[in-house]
Amino acid sequence: MTYSAAVSGASGYAGGEILRLLAHHPDVEIRTVTAHSSAGDPLVAHQPHLRSLRHLEIQPTTPEILAGHDIVFLALPHGQSGQYTDALGDAGLVIDAGADHRLTSEDAWNAFYGGAFHEPWTYGVPELIVAGGRQRENLVGATRIAAPGCNASTVSLSMAPGVAAGVVDPTDIVSVLAVGPSGAGKALKPHLLGSEILGSANPYAVGGTHRHIPEIQQALRAAGAADPRISFTPVIVPMARGILATTSAPIAGDATDAEIRGAWESAYGDETFVQLLPEGQMPRTSDVTGANTALIGLAIDRAANRVVVVAAVDNLAKGTAGAAIQSMNIALGLPEDRALTVNGVAP
Ligand SMILES: NC(=O)c1ccc[n+]([C@@H]2O[C@H](COP(=O)([O-])OP(=O)(O)OC[C@H]3O[C@@H](n4cnc5c(N)ncnc54)[C@H](OP(=O)(O)O)[C@@H]3O)[C@@H](O)[C@H]2O)c1
C-alpha cells in the first residue's frame, strides 16, 4: 500500500527536512505541500535542494487542502497547528512537529507557551525509557503523534537511562547546549542574522525560561524521576544544523562505574539510532549531520561526583523530521528504519 501524504510548513526548515526524508520513502507519496506566505510558489523556490520534488507547488494551509490524505505532517509555528488538527478527523495519521500536542500538563503549557491548550498526543521518541518499557510500544498503531522538541529529546535521551536505573540524582541536572540557528526556524529574526552569529557564541533563554524544560521534565518523569529539576542553557553557535548537549547530574548513592555505564549500555545496546560510544570517546555534531542518529558519550567525573553525558544530534533529522518519520513507520507497522540512515555527512 502507498500512503498519500500532505506536508504543511513545507517552505520551512522542519517541513523541508520531512520532505527530504519522505522523498526516499517507498511507501509514501508526497501529494500536497502547503505553507503560508509562500503559497502559490514552486516548492523548489524555497527548498532548492529538493530536486525530486520540483513538480510540486505550495498551496495555502487550510483544513480543506490538508483533508483527504492518509498522513498529514504539520510543521508550523507553535500555536498554529491546533486549529488544523481539530479539523483533520478523517486523516489516518497526523504528526505535529510543533509543540501544540507535546505537553500533558496544561499548567506547564500556560507557564511556558500560553494560548489555547490542546490535548497531548503520543510522544514521538521511540527509544525513550518509559514505565514498563519503551515509548516505541506506545507508538504502535498511534494515529496522532507529537514529534519532539529537538533540544528536549536530546537531553531526555541523554539522561533517561541513568534516571531509570537510579544511578543519577534527577533533582540536579545541568545541561548546556551548543545549537545551530536552524533550530529556531527560517523566518527572519535579527538576532539570527549571519552578522550576529558568525564568529560568536550567543546564549539565550537563560535562567529557566526555555520552552523545552517542561518537555524534558515530562520525559524524565516517564522514565521514573519523581521531581526532575534541570538548569538548561542553550548557546547558539555558527553551524547551520546540530546540537551538542552536555548534560550532567550527581551520581546517586554509591553507584559503581560499572553500574553507571551499564545503565546506558543496556538502554541503548540494541538500538539502531541511539548509540553509546566506547569509553573515552565523545561525539561531534558533524558525525550526525543528516543522520537519524543520537550519538552519546559518557564520562564519570568522580572528583565532581557527576555523570557527564555528551550527545550529538542533528536538530532537523533525529531532532524533528527523522523522529517524525521513525514514529510514523512504527505507527504504520513498517520497518522502523525505513527511509532513515544512521550515517552522517562528513566532513
Ligand atoms: N527547526 C527545528 O530544528 C525544529 C526542531 C523541532 C521542532 N520544530 C518545530 O517545527 C515547527 C516548524 O519549525 P521550523 O523551524 O520549520 O520553522 P520555519 O522554518 O520558520 O517554518 C515555518 C513554516 O510554517 C509556515 N507558517 C508560518 N505561519 C503560518 C500560519 N499562520 N499558517 C500556516 N503556516 C504557517 C511557514 O510558511 P511561509 O514560509 O509560507 O510563511 C513555514 O512553512 C515549529 O513548531 C518548531 O518548533 C523545529
- The DSSP secondary structure of 190-255, one letter per residue, reads GGGSHHHHTT--EE-STTTT-TTHHHHHHHHHHTT-SS--EEEEEEE-S-SS-EEEEEEEEBPTT-
CB crowding 133-150: b at 16 or more within 10 Å, else e = eebbebbeebebbbbbbb
Taking residues 70-92, report their average pLDDT: 88
Q: Which three cell numbers stand for residue 248?
A: 550532567
pTM of the full predicted structure? 0.97
Q: For position 132, what pLDDT does the model report?
A: 78
Q: Tell me what pLDDT residue 310 has.
A: 99
Written as nine digits, the cell of 258 is: 560499572
How high is the pLDDT of residue 50? Answer: 98
Residue minimizing CA distance to atom 30 of ligand 1: 36
More confident residue, 188 or 283: 283
Name the residue at shortest CA distance from atom 29 of ligand 1: 36
Share of the chain above pLDDT 90, in %: 94
What is the CA(300)–ligand 1 centre distance, in A? 38
State in Å: Cα 314 to ligand 1 middle: 17
Pairing of strands 93-96, 71-74: parallel
Q: Is the pLDDT of residue 96 over 90?
A: yes
Flag whether pLDDT at 83 surpasses 90: no
pLDDT value, residue 91: 81
Q: Which domains are seen in the chain, by residue range?
A: 3-147+318-332 (3.40.50.720), 151-315 (3.30.360.10)
Ligand 1 contacts CB of residue 47 (under 6 A) = no
Query: Residue 150 catalytic?
Result: yes
Express each pLDDT in 248-277 by its tens digit.
999 999 999 999 999 999 999 999 999 999
123 by DSSP, 3-state: which?
Answer: strand
Residue 11: phi and psi, rounded to 5, are -85, -10
Q: Is the CB–ligand 1 distance for residue 98 below 6 Å? A: yes
**88 has pLDDT over 90:** no
pLDDT in tens, 37-73: 999 999 999 999 999 999 999 999 999 999 999 999 9
Q: 3-state SS of the chain: helix, strand, coil percent to 5?
A: 30, 25, 45
Q: Is the pLDDT of residue 86 over 80?
A: no
Among residues 23, 27, 25, the alpha carbon closest in space to that of 15 is found at 23
* pLDDT for res 313: 98
**Can you give the pLDDT at residue 275?**
98
CA of residue 76 to ligand 1 center, whole Å: 4
Query: In DSSP terms, which residues pair with 341 in a beta bridge?
Result: none
